[in-house]
A and B are shown apart, each in its own frame.
Chain A
């Protein structure tokens, strides 16, 4: 495919966290296919990334060691740095989208080490088959705590995990019956976190080995069987495809025609990497409906800005508070490891409010104070606005934005602040 620089920048924004000018130069020289293949190759990279220093283990935390809250805030900063510095941006983006797909919050889980472990799971298993990933997530300690798996017993199963598995993680609401919820809840009885080891185990005396009728299947179904059944349903293929497309291109329902076009790339072996390749190569991915189809999630906007200016979490300590990134993301409405509930976050207008605008201005002004702006400042005054657009991997400025930027073109920090809160950078 013949690609323009503008299309390649769009690819980097959506399949990553934006591109530096040099990355875009290189992509332009190599073309769309080679650039996309390189992004996809990054999915199969080195695997887990080492945790932040000083993360207290599950066992140590149970002995009262460590400070869970500080470690959770630190873990969020560590993850933002991964996004800002990664050489495999699509993989890091996928980790974020899987957090959106399987939202799990520290405030109930209570162990930063378990949040890290779930994050590592997304990074290593995320690009592979979705049934394998979902099985691992259903046995993931953070998820076990989050949805109360293992607090029940054989004769009075708890429906929380079984319901959300179908409704949020794999199939979508309205695609199963209440009887399916009850039957599959039985299959997860006895599944629990072993609090001595911090690992998953099945307590056999609490597991219901009886016959279950579930989505047309009959038998002594185990929890693993349920995961296999739900992930292989045709509605699941549409649900998973619609969710990913909604975050990468523009929001769609599972019944949208573009979903039907993409599903064949996924349903053969439920491979997420194959689905991502099909999505990013789909003509609609670069069409105006996609180009103008999303407001950046706050985490994307903050991480992309850190990437553009080479900032780390410690860059913000100059502002006098170690937890500045956590603070500003909470004001923006999206804190890593803290989704509001198992439904996760919304999209587009969900991110836009007067409160968010105020927080955006706060972050933008802070960045313009802590970042090294010399690359822009050394440009002739007339070229600074263009240099900023280039750095932020956006196509350029609208006339409305340019008129405002021209008012402050002699003042580089003000110019950068305005660019960061411009509608063309916050959206698209």
Chain B
């Protein structure tokens, strides 16, 4: 568990060492960054001011495969629910009641506590017009923040394109950066989901690293792809050192290292450490796979939701005592909901409208959006969308990243009141 002391010591160290110190990477602009600090770029002043007025951080959690929202936020008092779900209906006497005829899946005990504390917002009926039942096409829509086929940049990627070149602004956990975090010119950095400072550092001595840096200089590269290779290498030297320093100064939250917290917990442990260390990162991405429950859904989904619950609740607990942690916002989403009627494999096929979840110490908990009807379904037997997912993005862009959302989403979307 990070202590206030360890965090403060780290920040003091950072401020006093200045550009020559261990945090050099955070304190100097990237090679090709503009001279004037852009939003999100760390300056010593900003880091010193962290205790007074910190900027909020987005922690985006992608649940790949299409989590079954109906078995996550269960309309257990609606007779149509059990009629449609049959053997895979979550039993009414096991759900964690949150009022309005709804109950959370029994694995979500930590999220229930956050609900009771007013720190969990559940957005109902989320989706987009003309649902696409392809995992990949639907996930592309969610990550692009657009239903247009020709938009290949991600919604956070476009924010990166607009805010300079500092590779610390956005970080994704794991080797492959999701398209949400890739713009036309800029891409988020990526780090290994490991709290070990050693595993974040490149091998070799400083002399070798300086030659490597020469090799990976992005200029003078004949092809676009070689240039991208070179830029990753250059950014890696900066990011790895800053991240390793941060991980050395802030201990990993123990609860996120348990087997119950799983792979999502490992990723969120690193995010918690980096937030507590005062990194200037404004957006993090973590993910979990396996939600495509066409068969044997009860067992699989319970295991996955248990992991989500332990790691997200543990994460919020770990960052509860710092100003930065107080202002971090976790957003959980998935590419689509699942068919209302169960199939005969003890599972559900691809559907449409779904829940999204926003959690954090500064979040205004409660239900947002309209309650979807279990009896008035679309032609394919799916819940009808009532809240466009871009309303969530607009709220995040404006309230978390502090920008006008319209240029990043093509038009304005009515914001939601969860922040």
A complexed with B: yes
Residue of A nearest to B86 (CB): A156
Interface string of B115-136 (1 = CB under 8 A from A): 0000000000000000011111
B202 touches A333 (CB 8 A): no
Give the one of B215, B228, B239, B345 with max A CB within 10 A.
B215
**Count, A-B residue pairs, CB within 8 A:** 200
Interface string of A308-337 (1 = CB under 8 A from B): 000000000000000000000011110000
In the complex, which residues of chain A have a beta carbon less than 8 angstroms from the beta carbon of B182?
A: 349
B176 touches A292 (CB 8 A): no
B227 touches A423 (CB 8 A): yes
Known: A343-B136, A358-B236. A151 touches B172 (CB 8 A): no
Known: A340-B64, A398-B221, A423-B229. A148 touches B215 (CB 8 A): no
A365 touches B203 (CB 8 A): yes
Instruction: Output the least CB separation between B341 and chain A (Å).
Output: 8
**B220 on the interface (CB 8 Å rule)?**
yes
**B362 on the interface (CB 8 Å rule)?**
no
In the complex, which residues of chain B have a beta carbon less than 8 angstroms from the beta carbon of A408?
A: 208, 211
**B5 on the interface (CB 8 Å rule)?**
no
In the complex, which residues of chain A have a beta carbon less than 8 angstroms from the beta carbon of B64?
A: 340-341
Instruction: Output the least CB separation between B237 and chain A (Å).
Output: 9
In the complex, which residues of chain A have a beta carbon less than 8 angstroms from the beta carbon of B296?
A: 151
**B214 on the interface (CB 8 Å rule)?**
yes
Residue of A nearest to B240 (CB): A358
* From B132, B134, B176, B295, contact of A353 by CB (8 A): B176
Instruction: Output the least CB separation between B276 and chain A (Å).
Output: 21
**A283 on the interface (CB 8 Å rule)?**
no
Q: Report the separation of the CA atoms of residues A193 and B57 in the bound assembly, to the nearest whole angstrom.
A: 48
Instruction: Output the least CB separation between A260 and chain B (Å).
Output: 20
Interface string of A63-94 (1 = CB under 8 A from B): 00000000000000000000000000000000
Within 8 A of B (CB), among A223-278: none
**A60 on the interface (CB 8 Å rule)?**
no
**A381 on the interface (CB 8 Å rule)?**
no
Q: Report the separation of the CA atoms of residues A167 and B343 in the bound assembly, to the nearest whole angstrom.
A: 20
Q: Report the separation of the CA atoms of residues A295 and B136 in the bound assembly, to the nearest whole angstrom.
A: 22
Residue of B nearest to A405 (CB): B215
B232 touches A354 (CB 8 A): yes
**B192 on the interface (CB 8 Å rule)?**
yes
Residue of B nearest to A189 (CB): B344
B190 touches A354 (CB 8 A): yes
Give the one of A151, A295, A361, A403 with max B CB within 10 A.
A361
Within 8 A of B (CB), among A137-194: 147-148, 151-153, 155-160, 163, 167-168, 173-174, 178, 181
**B177 on the interface (CB 8 Å rule)?**
yes
A158 touches B345 (CB 8 A): yes
Instruction: Output the least CB separation between B409 and chain A (Å).
Output: 23
Known: A294-B225, A343-B136. A407 touches B214 (CB 8 A): yes
A158 touches B134 (CB 8 A): no
* From B135, B174, B222, B380, contact of A341 by CB (8 A): B135
In the complex, which residues of chain B have a beta carbon less than 8 angstroms from the beta carbon of A361?
A: 202-204, 212, 236
Residue of A nearest to B188 (CB): A353
**A414 on the interface (CB 8 Å rule)?**
yes
Q: Report the separation of the CA atoms of residues A349 and B177 in the bound assembly, to the nearest whole angstrom.
A: 9
Instruction: Output the least CB separation between B356 and chain A (Å).
Output: 20
**A400 on the interface (CB 8 Å rule)?**
yes
B225 touches A354 (CB 8 A): no
* From A158, A340, A358, A422, contact of B295 by CB (8 A): A158
**A303 on the interface (CB 8 Å rule)?**
no
Interface string of A404-424 (1 = CB under 8 A from B): 110110000010011001111
B239 touches A354 (CB 8 A): yes
Within 8 A of A (CB), among B37-60: none
**B398 on the interface (CB 8 Å rule)?**
no
Residue of A nearest to B233 (CB): A357
B211 touches A148 (CB 8 A): no
Residue of B nearest to A427 (CB): B225
Q: Report the separation of the CA atoms of residues A102 and B210 in the bound assembly, to the nearest whole angstrom.
A: 42
A352 touches B211 (CB 8 A): no
Known: A173-B136, A173-B137, A358-B240. A340 touches B289 (CB 8 A): yes
**B248 on the interface (CB 8 Å rule)?**
no
B191 touches A354 (CB 8 A): yes
In the complex, which residues of chain A have a beta carbon less than 8 angstroms from the beta carbon of B343?
A: 152, 156-159
Instruction: Output the least CB separation between A330 and chain B (Å).
Output: 8
Residue of B nearest to A288 (CB): B223
Instruction: Output the least CB separation between A365 and chain B (Å).
Output: 5
B190 touches A423 (CB 8 A): no
Residue of A nearest to B181 (CB): A353
Q: Report the separation of the CA atoms of residues A168 and B134 in the bound assembly, to the nearest whole angstrom.
A: 9
**B395 on the interface (CB 8 Å rule)?**
no
**B364 on the interface (CB 8 Å rule)?**
no
A421 touches B240 (CB 8 A): no
* From B229, B292, B345, contact of A352 by CB (8 A): B229
In the complex, which residues of chain A have a beta carbon less than 8 angstroms from the beta carbon of B132?
A: 173
**A203 on the interface (CB 8 Å rule)?**
no
Known: A157-B344, A349-B228. A403 touches B137 (CB 8 A): no
In the complex, which residues of chain A have a beta carbon less than 8 angstroms from the beta carbon of B192?
A: 331, 355, 358-359
**A136 on the interface (CB 8 Å rule)?**
no
Known: A332-B175, A341-B64. A421 touches B212 (CB 8 A): yes
**B226 on the interface (CB 8 Å rule)?**
yes
B175 touches A423 (CB 8 A): no
**A38 on the interface (CB 8 Å rule)?**
no
Q: Report the separation of the CA atoms of residues A335 and B402 in the bound assembly, to the nearest whole angstrom.
A: 39
In the complex, which residues of chain A have a beta carbon less than 8 angstroms from the beta carbon of B211?
A: 404, 407-408, 414, 418
In the complex, which residues of chain B have a beta carbon less than 8 angstroms from the beta carbon of A354?
A: 167, 189-191, 232, 235-236, 239-240
Instruction: Output the least CB separation between B177 and chain A (Å).
Output: 5
A423 touches B212 (CB 8 A): no
A358 touches B200 (CB 8 A): yes
Instruction: Output the least CB separation between A286 and chain B (Å).
Output: 15
**B8 on the interface (CB 8 Å rule)?**
no
Residue of B nearest to A361 (CB): B202
Instruction: Output the least CB separation between B144 and chain A (Å).
Output: 14
Instruction: Output the least CB separation between B62 and chain A (Å).
Output: 11
* From B65, B175, B191, contact of A333 by CB (8 A): B175
The 8 closest A-B CB pairs, nearest first, are A333-B175, A156-B344, A353-B190, A423-B226, A355-B190, A404-B215, A151-B345, A292-B223
Identify the A interface with B (CB < 8 A). Answer: 147-148, 151-153, 155-160, 163, 167-168, 173-174, 178, 181, 292-295, 330-333, 340-343, 345-346, 348-359, 361-362, 365, 398-401, 403-405, 407-408, 414, 417-418, 421-424, 426-428
A158-B343, A352-B232, A358-B192 known, 6 other contacts, Cβ within 8 Å? A163-B350, A168-B136, A353-B232, A361-B212, A361-B236, A427-B229
Of the A-B pairs whose beta carbons lie under 8 Å apart in the complex, a sample of 26, sorted by A's number, is A151-B296, A151-B344, A152-B343, A152-B344, A156-B345, A158-B295, A159-B294, A159-B349, A163-B133, A173-B134, A178-B133, A292-B222, A295-B225, A331-B175, A348-B228, A353-B176, A353-B177, A357-B229, A358-B201, A359-B175, A365-B203, A400-B219, A400-B220, A421-B212, A423-B227, A427-B228
